[in-house]
Amino acid sequence: MKTGTREDRLMEVIELLARGAWEEAHPIVQLDKSVEAAWLHGIVHTMEGDLENAQHWYRKAKRAFPDPVSVEAELMAARQLLGQTR
């Protein structure tokens, strides 16, 4: 995992997920206890196909669980949110 700010690491996760590299993104979000990381952790498990685990992480992030096919829209929303926190 690269060093940098939490936002930088989470943006790295978004880029990994956008490329379909959820296995690489998983250890990064596991280390981060933020609400944003929980949301991304839910996306990781959605992409993995573990929807029950994904729903758990969405609950931790206090977000409604979307249709699993909307991962792209979720990544776009996460990108926007993290871009606003800089």
pTM: 0.86
What would the pLDDT profile of 30-80 be if each residue is shown by its tens digit? 999 999 999 999 999 999 999 999 999 999 999 999 887 789 899 999 999
pLDDT score of 2 more than 60: no
DSSP codes of every residue in 10-78: HHHHHHHHHTT-HHHHHHHHHH--SHHHHHHHHHHHHHHT-HHHHHHHHHHTT-----GGGHHHHHHHH
Count CA within 13 A, CB hemisphere, residue 26: 13
pLDDT score of 1 more than 50: no
For position 58, what pLDDT does the model report?
Answer: 97
What would the pLDDT profile of 8-35 be if each residue is shown by its tens digit? 999 999 999 999 999 999 999 999 999 9
Which CATH topology does 6-84 take?
1.25.40
